[in-house]
């Protein structure tokens, strides 16, 4: 079923999580009479921190340097040189975090001291926590010895990482193209599909999301591409989990179908049993390719290397990013069949695709540290066990849990109910965020490296949010 488009919340809908009537009269008066915007933010943070007093572990004393002494000074420069309307939007909502200290599952606001467990993880960028010691250690050990490298030359770091990524699918996708952003990696897959098939039509999912670059943007929703003129020809969207619509759309001009293993921005609906197998068969029967976007679901997030491995199918391409960086160095990868890759590395023109920063050697070091951690015996089983633990704990709570591993969505009856829940959750020291194309769903992606004590603390916090 197609979900109705959700409007963006207004400042009256969504405010930073502080309900004044839950605190003492003196504390409320302090907040109401704070003279500056920065003072009000610090007062709010104090109230929220006190509301969860005694449950916040100490963090390192090392704070990252801040170029601006106050938030107001930072806001002035941000407004002038970066994104004034984005800043204004967040200020209307009362939500304007500036990441300061960050460590493991926690991060802290640089100016207010508000500390939160990161259960959004920037879509999986911080799946192994903030400043993971093994990732930062590997990169630090390579600084001064390696740099970006030269994309024209052969590279041992790129070759080794590519071989290890191919091994996660038993070499079914033996060729790898590296990039810097998820959109770039999607572009690689889409243009390779067009080149390999000689066809132009691309089918994607209504409400899905693949990035903001050229072909990736064309495969996404109109709200992101319409400001820039007409869409590219040949791009068609159908509802997720609707095999009838997919079968009607695919024809002899279809180069590829691109799907997220689970559409995050759409609200994390789980694929219906057999959906991916049926789509795979449609592709095989009609000569199209199946591309799976694992930018958010990959690298252990669902309890397997790749979310599509739950579906019992092998796609023609897997696109990964975000978590591959370890949260330290931007790097993405597009895993391809030999047949798809040949168009990018033909004898006639092996330079038809290049990326200056794609597969930067320091990025490869970070990514290999990520693979070391996720590939350790028991790691993926641990993710699955934590998933079951959260499912049991969340069963009495007033939302529908959409879940595969630690890729979870909390679905409420309405957008307003979800935003109210977000307020209460943040009051308990937990950060999550609404899905962009279905704001009745809160994306809930805790770090994969939760200890038992941290998992229990997080469960307690979530339960208290709904008492």
pLDDT tens digits, one per residue of 294-307: 999 999 999 999 99
What is the percentage of the chain residues whose pLDDT exceeds 90?
84
pLDDT of the residue at 91: 87
Separation of CA 77 from chain center: 28
Residues contacting residue 309 through CB under 8 Å, at least 6 positions apart: 169
Report whether 318 contacts 222 (CB < 8 A): no
Mean pLDDT of the residues in the chain:
90
**CA 343 to CA 291: how far, in whole Å?**
16
pLDDT of the residue at 204: 98
Q: Is residue 123 part of a domain?
A: no
pLDDT of the residue at 93: 77
What is the token pair recorded at 463? 């339960």
Numbers of helices and strands, H then E, in the chain: 16, 15
What is the tens place of the pLDDT at every residue in 123-172? 999 999 999 999 999 999 999 999 999 999 999 999 999 999 999 999 99
pLDDT of the residue at 28: 37
The last residue of one of the domains, among 353, 374, 395, is 374
pLDDT of the residue at 63: 83
Residues contacting residue 324 through CB under 8 Å, at least 6 positions apart: 298, 299, 331, 332, 333, 367, 370
- What are 386's strand-pairing partners? none
| Number of domains within the chain | 2
The last residue of one of the domains, among 374, 401, 418, is 374
**CA 443 to CA 436: how far, in whole Å?**
9
Q: Is residue 394 part of a domain?
A: yes
The verdict on 326 and 214 lying in the same domain is yes
User: What CATH code is carried by the domain that includes residue 83?
Assistant: 3.90.1150.10
361-387 mean pLDDT: 98
Pairing type for strands 175-179 and 115-118 reads unpaired
335-362 mean pLDDT: 96
Residue 60 — very low, low, confident or very high, per pLDDT cuts 50/70/90?
confident
Rounded (10°) angle between helices 361-374 and 156-167: 30
Pairing type for strands 289-293 and 317-320 reads parallel
**CA 168 to CA 174: how far, in whole Å?**
10
The verdict on 325 and 387 lying in the same domain is no
**CA 345 to CA 347: how far, in whole Å?**
7
Q: Is residue 148 part of a domain?
A: yes
Buried/exposed code over 177-211 (b: 16+ C-beta within 10 A; e: otherwise)? bbbbbbbbbbbbbbbbbbbbbebebbbbbbbbbbb
**CA 241 to CA 424: how far, in whole Å?**
32
The last residue of one of the domains, among 317, 348, 374, is 374
The verdict on 319 and 200 lying in the same domain is yes
Lowest-confidence segment of 96-100, 246-250, 284-288, 395-399 by average pLDDT: 96-100
What is the tens place of the pLDDT at every residue in 66-75? 999 999 999 9
The verdict on 231 and 318 lying in the same domain is yes
The verdict on 300 and 318 lying in the same domain is yes
**Is residue 299 packed enough to be buried (19+ CB in 10 Å), middle (13-18) or exposed (0-12)?**
buried
83-100 mean pLDDT: 89
Torsions phi, psi for 401 (to 5 deg): -95, 115
What is the tens place of the pLDDT at every residue in 204-234? 999 999 999 999 999 999 889 999 999 999 9
Q: Is residue 53 part of a domain?
A: yes
The verdict on 359 and 384 lying in the same domain is no
- Nearest by Cα to 425 from 388, 390, 453, 458: 458
**CA 45 to CA 100: how far, in whole Å?**
14
Is it the case that residue 4 has pLDDT exceeding 50?
no
- Nearest by Cα to 110 from 50, 54, 63: 63
* Full domain range(s) for residue 410: 20-118+379-465
Alpha helices in 303-436 (DSSP H): 338-341, 361-374, 379-394, 415-427
Report whether 268 contacts 300 (CB < 8 A): no
The verdict on 356 and 387 lying in the same domain is no
Report whether 283 contacts 257 (CB < 8 A): yes
């Amino acid at each position: 079923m197609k979900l109705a488009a959700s409007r963006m919340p207004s400042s009256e809908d969504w405010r930073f999580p502080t309900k004044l009537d839950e605190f003492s009269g003196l504390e409320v008066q302090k907040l109401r009479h704070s003279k500056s915007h920065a003072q009000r933010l610090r007062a709010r943070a104090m109230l929220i921190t006190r509301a969860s007093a005694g449950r916040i572990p100490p963090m390192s004393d090392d704070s990252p340097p801040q170029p601006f002494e106050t938030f107001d000074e930072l806001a002035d420069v941000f407004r002038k040189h970066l994104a004034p309307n984005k800043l204004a939007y967040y200020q209307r909502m009362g939500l304007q975090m500036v990441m300061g200290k960050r460590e493991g599952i926690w991060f802290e606001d640089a100016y207010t001291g508000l500390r939160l467990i990161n259960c959004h993880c920037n879509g999986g960028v911080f799946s192994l926590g903030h400043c993971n010691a093994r990732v930062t250690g590997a990169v630090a050990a390579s600084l001064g010895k390696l740099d970006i490298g030269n994309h024209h030359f052969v590279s041992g770091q790129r070759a080794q990482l590519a071989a290890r990524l191919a091994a996660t699918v038993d070499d079914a996708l033996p060729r790898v193209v590296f990039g810097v952003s998820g959109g770039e990696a999607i572009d690689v897959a889409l243009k390779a599909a067009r080149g390999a098939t000689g066809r132009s039509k691309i089918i994607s999912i209504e409400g899905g999301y693949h990035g903001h670059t050229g072909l990736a943007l064309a495969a996404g929703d109109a709200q992101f591409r319409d400001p820039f003129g007409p869409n590219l020809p040949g791009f068609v969207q159908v509802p997720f989990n609707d095999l009838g619509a997919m079968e009607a759309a695919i024809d002899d001009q279809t180069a590829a179908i691109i799907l997220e293993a689970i559409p995050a921005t759409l609200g994390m609906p789980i694929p219906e049993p057999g959906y991916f197998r049926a789509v795979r068969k449609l592709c095989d029967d009609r000569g199209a390719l199946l591309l799976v976007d694992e930018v958010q679901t990959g690298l252990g997030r669902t309890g397997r290397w790749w979310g599509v491995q739950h579906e019992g199918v092998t796609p023609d391409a897997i696109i990964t990013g975000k978590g591959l960086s370890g949260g330290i160095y931007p790097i993405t990868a597009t895993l391809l069949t030999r047949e798809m890759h040949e168009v990018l590395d033909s004898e006639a023109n092996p330079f038809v695709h290049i990326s200056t920063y794609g597969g930067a050697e320091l990025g490869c070091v970070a990514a290999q540290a990520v693979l070391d951690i996720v590939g350790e015996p028991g790691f993926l089983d641990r993710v699955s066990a934590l998933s079951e633990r959260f499912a049991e704990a969340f069963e009495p709570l007033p939302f529908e849990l959409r879940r595969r591993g630690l890729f979870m969505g909390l679905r409420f009856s309405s957008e307003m109910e979800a935003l109210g829940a977000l307020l209460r959750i943040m009051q308990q020291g937990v950060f999550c965020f609404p899905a962009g194309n279905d704001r009745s769903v809160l994306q809930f992606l805790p770090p994969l490296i939760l200890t038992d004590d941290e998992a229990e603390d997080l469960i307690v916090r979530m339960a208290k949010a709904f008492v």
